[in-house]
Structure 1
Amino acid sequence: MGEYVSAVVAAVNDVLWNKQLLLLFLLLGTGIYFTIRTRFVQVRKFGEGWRRLFGNFSLNGAKAGKEGMSSFQALTTAIAAQVGTGNITGCATALYSGGPGAIFWMWVSAFFGMATIYGEAVLAQNYKTTDPDGHVTGGPIYYIKAAFKGRLGKFLAGFFSVAIILALGFMGNMVQSNSIGEAFYNAFGLPRLAVGIAVAAVAAFIFIGGVKRLASFTEKLVPVMALFYIVGGLVVLCINHEALAGAFRSIFVGAFNPQAIFGGVAGLGVKEAMRYGVARGLFSNEAGMGSTPHAHALAKVEKPQDQGVIAMMGVFIDTFVVLTMTALVILSSGLLQPLAEDGLTGTALAQAAFNQAFGSFGNAFIAICMLFFAFSTIIGWYFFGETNVKALFGKKAVLPYAVIAVGFIVIGSFQKVSLVWDMSDMFNGLMVIPNLLAVLALSGQVARAAWPGKKEKETQKKA
């Protein structure tokens, strides 16, 4: 039975991510389409997004409640989910499998992904609603039903909800806790199970507190964890400053001519650079996946496009800041050996790069960052899953969902099961399809929000 399930999961992942690259073309194509329809909103409104980000910046903002949360709290909740182990482990894996050029294609995917996530946030605001208890709620499940009426809409919305609950709430959080357990065992020798129990206990405390505690937690943790990692990365880059020019050169040359950097490395070509760069980049920033709209729906803003603009900043911070920092640290270290059988990859490559500059403290630094990144993702992903549990099964199902999620966090910390990782990838991919179909079907609303006509401008003035 296990072998049959593994074979099915592998076949689906080949179509979605690996061989047929269905999602790569779908996600990138959607980003290009929205970039054109919104007249390059990610360029025109970038300054506004930056001003809104720092204009709303607060480590102790107004408490979230039934009416939702502040725009900044919604952004930090989204970033909490976006900035995860993919920014360290995923980046290192992309470099190993696709070479330095993968980073260029990560930037390309993030640029177009900013337009996609703008659309997701606008639609999440347009179709947010209130639950029977009077709490504001929203997400793809609601705009999917609006895009496709009748049975088709209900089926696609239900399919999305089940996929995200499994992908993020359960298996995804199991994967995140495994990364924390592994990092702390390697750095400090701490038992993985003990680390898992501690992480699960803190997570449960936040889960029980609901959206109020979630918003308060993310608005404090996200800025601190980002600053901690960026400062550490900048210190390494200062130490490796002589290699920085070569690192940037390898990114641009590797994007179009990988052989010029590493010679005749078998299997390393432009296709691999594009494939791993785009796939890992989109997986990291989650643009188009349908996860972050759950947070952006709760933002208290005057107009939907106000949250769309600030949502773009989440993709920018995730890819152009945090993920790029990891890439430059690795490339400037000189430790990258793409596709080498005995070459370092994943977390081990990132740890080795920081160790080269920090000595043995490098392991501890990565372990602490892994704790920040992975734990924040656990909190964000749990919340996204909870929203869909409520929509499908009602408020009574939240407690069983929380208990199961906490159990997966503990199990994942000490038991790495490759099938769980593969299934997480599969359900992550499957939830993209109904989400993007709905976003594309409602693209007219997004275009009008990004470039309002005369009627829309008059309506906004009256409002």
Structure 2
Amino acid sequence: MAIIDLMVTLSNWFWGVPILVVLVGGGIFLTVRLGFYQFRYLPFILKNTFGKMFAKSEGEGTVSAFQAATTALASSIGASNIVGVPVAIALGGPGAVFWMWVTALVGCATKFTEIVLGIKYREKNEKGEYVGGAMYYLKHSKFPFLGTVFAFMLMIEIAPSISTQTLTFIQNAEHLGIDKYVAVGAFLIVVALVVFGGIKSISGFCEKLVPIMAGLYILAGLVVIAVNIVELPHVFGMIFSNAFTPTSAMGGFAGATVAAGIRSGLARGAYSNEAGMGTATIAHSAATVEIPAQQGIWAVFEIFVDTMIVCTITAVVVLVSGVWTEIGSDQAAVMPAMAFGEVLGQNFGGALVAIALLMFVLSTVIVIIFFGEKQAEFLFGSKVAMVVRVIYILFIILGVVLDLGTLYSLLDFMLALVIIPNMIGILTMSGEAVEMMKQLFENPKYYPKAKK
């Protein structure tokens, strides 16, 4: 169909130079505007996130600061952290990893801005729960209609996204020898039980699952890297050199230009940490805090875990093992399983990757259903939100029967229509983020080194 072809063309265009301008350019602007807070206050941030993961939160909110962060993290740590990174390397070479890191570092400022605005403009719903997100702060921006645009586009985008995630789940279940109908049935039941329990149920589930699934994957990845430790200096050399020079063809790798590396790395970074998408703030807005910036610093924690640790582990495993030179880009998604298999045995290594993907997809679907439901609640009220929740559950079933072919490109197109209004909003409201940052770092009560 002509309309689908047009959407795919526009999608491919947007995820080129425009995404560089919007996300990285916007992230650099916010980093400067916030005084490079993610670098200046890094020790304090690490101490008050990693160092206080299980501490009791003070202030008002529905869930703890850590539960809110792990709920947001469950959305961003998904199948793409395992299969998306090798695809980026296959298309852009090792240099794509460098640009993925760049997106993450400047994304800390973007996500901080989103989170603090989300906390500032959150509201209480009919159940007495705190709700917030980009749609709530955008209606207080210079362009209030952007809140409605964001909410509607995200609500629509999440439906096919659930089906694509379900397809990934089914394919990996089949890899483990599980019948696809049994797999989708079990998947459906677990998702329904958790999402119908509400935000507290979702947060409690993610608080337990996210550390386990990320920890197991990271540990296994470090084992593979340790076995190939002699290759590590060469790998990091390639990452930095190929970020600015073309990558030569070798083996099954066809070669890549610098532009391809930048595009692949930026797109992977954007999908990975979700900075600029405005989605994570939906979960963060329920956090129990005294001032918004207390939750804002969890942006660094979230991006650090998601991109700088999980995505980097995947990238280094693929590069040190050499599998990226053995397989063409059309089969890039199987690279992690092959890399793990070379060290841990093909059966065990393949099963480990498949199980990790199952857990990552499960957590992602649970959280994005919650995100989509909140868009419906914002637009139409809580009763319609319950109906939308059921519709999303049905899209899990459609993941078994739909031919998802071009849906991935269409998802990119719809995601662009989510990112654009959000970035316009947070850039025009960045002054408010600066003031909320000062509430934390210029107050001795919260930041001991602040001038009294």
Q: TM-score, normalised by structure 2?
A: 0.92
* 1:218 pairs with 2:214: no
* 1:116-131 alignment, distance < 5 Å: 116-131=110-125
1:402 Cα shift?
1.6
* 1:435 pairs with 2:422: yes
Q: TM-score, normalised by structure 1?
A: 0.90
Q: Structure 1 pair 173/53, CA: closer, same or farther in 2 (3 Å)?
A: same
CA distance in 2, matches of 1:260, 1:307: 44
1:267 Cα shift?
6.0
In the alignment, what sits opposite 2:229? 241
2:126–2:382 contact (8 Å) kept in structure 1: no
In the alignment, what sits opposite 1:346? 332
1:55 Cα shift?
3.9
Q: Structure 1 pair 89/416, CA: closer, same or farther in 2 (3 Å)?
A: farther
1:275 is aligned, of 250, 256, 263, to 263
In the alignment, what sits opposite 1:172? 161
Secondary structure, counterpart of 2:53 in structure 1: coil
Q: Structure 1 pair 207/452, CA: closer, same or farther in 2 (3 Å)?
A: closer
1:228 is aligned, of 187, 191, 216, to 216
Matched residue pairs, number? 446
1:35 is aligned, of 19, 27, 31, to 31
Secondary structure, counterpart of 2:127 in structure 1: coil
* Deviation readout 1:80-110 (Å, 9 max, x if unpaired): 0011111111101000000000001111110
1:156 Cα shift?
1.7
1:250–1:261 contact (8 Å) kept in structure 2: no
* 1:448 pairs with 2:442: no
In the alignment, what sits opposite 2:19? 23
In the alignment, what sits opposite 1:5? 3
1:397 Cα shift?
1.1
CA distance in 2, matches of 1:427, 1:178: 19
* 1:88 pairs with 2:82: yes
CA distance in 2, matches of 1:46, 1:389: 37
- Counterpart of 2:217 in structure 1: which amino acid? Y
1:420 Cα shift?
2.3
* 1:387 pairs with 2:374: yes
* 1:185-224 alignment, distance < 5 Å: 185-186=174-175, 188-224=176-212
1:254–1:260 contact (8 Å) kept in structure 2: no
In the alignment, what sits opposite 1:115? 109
Q: Which blocks of at least 5 consecutive residues in structure 2 are unaligned?
A: 448-452
1:117–1:287 contact (8 Å) kept in structure 2: yes
1:419 is aligned, of 386, 406, 429, to 406
In the alignment, what sits opposite 1:159? 149
CA distance in 1, matches of 2:446, 2:47: 20
1:358 is aligned, of 334, 339, 344, to 344
1:56 Cα shift?
3.3
1:430 Cα shift?
0.9
1:419 Cα shift?
2.7
CA distance in 2, matches of 1:314, 1:457: 24
* Deviation readout 1:207-231 (Å, 9 max, x if unpaired): 1100110111011011111101111
Secondary structure, counterpart of 1:133 in structure 2: coil
1:57 Cα shift?
2.1
Secondary structure, counterpart of 2:140 in structure 1: helix
2:173–2:180 contact (8 Å) kept in structure 1: yes
CA distance in 2, matches of 1:229, 1:453: 34
1:372 Cα shift?
1.3
Q: Structure 1 pair 453/364, CA: closer, same or farther in 2 (3 Å)?
A: closer
In the alignment, what sits opposite 1:372? 359
1:136 Cα shift?
1.1
1:336 Cα shift?
0.9
Q: Structure 1 pair 453/296, CA: closer, same or farther in 2 (3 Å)?
A: closer
* Deviation readout 1:414-457 (Å, 9 max, x if unpaired): 54412322222211111011111110111101122234599x75
In the alignment, what sits opposite 1:140? 134
CA distance in 2, matches of 1:374, 1:108: 25
In the alignment, what sits opposite 2:450? none
* 1:283-362 alignment, distance < 5 Å: 283-337=271-325, 342=328, 345-359=331-345, 360-362=347-349
Q: Structure 1 pair 458/280, CA: closer, same or farther in 2 (3 Å)?
A: closer
* 1:258-273 alignment, distance < 5 Å: 258-259=246-247, 262=250, 268-273=256-261
CA distance in 2, matches of 1:99, 1:460: 43
CA distance in 2, matches of 1:40, 1:142: 26
CA distance in 2, matches of 1:367, 1:317: 20
- Counterpart of 2:333 in structure 1: which amino acid? T
2:291–2:439 contact (8 Å) kept in structure 1: no
- Cα RMSD of the aligned pairs, angstroms, is 2.6
Q: Structure 1 pair 78/209, CA: closer, same or farther in 2 (3 Å)?
A: same
1:196–1:414 contact (8 Å) kept in structure 2: no
Q: Structure 1 pair 453/76, CA: closer, same or farther in 2 (3 Å)?
A: closer
Q: Structure 1 pair 458/198, CA: closer, same or farther in 2 (3 Å)?
A: closer
**Matched residues, percent identical?**
35
* Deviation readout 1:113-144 (Å, 9 max, x if unpaired): 01110111110111111123322111111111
1:47 Cα shift?
1.9
- Counterpart of 1:185 in structure 2: which amino acid? E
Secondary structure, counterpart of 1:123 in structure 2: helix
Q: Structure 1 pair 384/257, CA: closer, same or farther in 2 (3 Å)?
A: same
- Counterpart of 2:7 in structure 1: which amino acid? V
Q: Which blocks of at least 5 consecutive residues in structure 1 are unaligned?
A: none
1:103 is aligned, of 84, 93, 97, to 97
* Deviation readout 1:266-305 (Å, 9 max, x if unpaired): 6611111111101111111100101001011111111111
1:459 Cα shift?
11
1:179–1:413 contact (8 Å) kept in structure 2: no
